[in-house]
Amino acid sequence: MSEKVGDDGDLQEIKPAVDRQRKIGIFALMLCGFVFNFDSTIIQPTAAFYILVLGWIRGNPYRTLVPDYGRSLASYSLSRVIFSPVFGALAPRVIKYKTAMLAGLIICAVGNLTYAVATHISVLIVGRVIAGIGAASVAPALAYITAVTRPEARGKVLSMFWGFATLGLII
């Protein structure tokens, strides 16, 4: 059993179920990090071809390929950068960390669905913006991991989180 210092300074035992719930929560957050980066791995290589096809539909396949490809990648990254502090500020005060991550996954799924059904480049970019907003919910995951792990284990757990996230990029 794990031990912690109580309010009166005595050591108290933490129930194993609480530790198990925290471990499951941390593992779920690691999977979310994996999913968000796996999303990037799937979208970025296919976006150029997808934009080229949308260009053929419009009648100008090559003229707008590079600018539209750049806009689609930048829109995802920019929305993720802008909304990471928003999720980070909301998570501990307004919504729970895990709720923020779940909301982020749902928002990301909606953005990817919008991207998948896009028939015009503007809809594709809107889908990437929505997906970037959802992916911004990684910030609360890091805060949650920091809040529930002991200081001596924090570096290990954060490294494992980023390891899972990086694994999503290379698969």
Q: What is the pLDDT of residues 85-109, one digit of tens each?
A: 888 888 777 777 778 888 888 999 9
- 127-164 pLDDT, tens digit each: 999 999 998 888 887 877 887 788 888 888 888 888 88
What is the predicted pLDDT for the residue at 64?
Answer: 67
Single-letter code of the amino acid located at 144 = Y
Confidence label for 40 from pLDDT (cuts 50, 70 and 90):
confident
Average pLDDT across the chain, whole number: 78
Q: Which residue has the higher pLDDT, 123 or 62?
A: 123
What is the predicted pLDDT for the residue at 63?
Answer: 66
Q: Which residue has the higher pLDDT, 118 or 169?
A: 118
CA angle, corner 144, sides to 140 and 147, nearest 5? Answer: 135
This prediction has a pTM of: 0.75
Report how far residue 129's alpha carbon sits from residue 85's, in angstroms, rounded to the nearest whole number: 16
> How many other C-beta atoms can be found within 10 angstroms of the C-beta atom of residue 154?
14
Residue positions counted in the chain: 171
- 58-75 pLDDT, tens digit each: 666 666 677 888 888 889
Q: Which residue has the higher pLDDT, 40 or 13?
A: 40
Q: Are 106 and 134 in contact (CB under 8 A)?
A: yes
Selection from 2-11, 33-42, 128-137 with the highest mean pLDDT: 128-137
Confidence label for 5 from pLDDT (cuts 50, 70 and 90):
very low
Q: Across the chain, where does the E strand assignment appear?
A: 2-5, 11-14
Report how far residue 111's alpha carbon sits from residue 125's, in angstroms, rounded to the nearest whole number: 9
pLDDT at position 18 over 80: no
- Percent of residues, the chain, with pLDDT higher than 90: 14
Alpha carbon separation from 32 to 16, 36, 51, 66, 170 (Å, rounded) = 24, 6, 27, 30, 15
pLDDT at position 11 over 50: no
Single-letter code of the amino acid located at 44 = Q
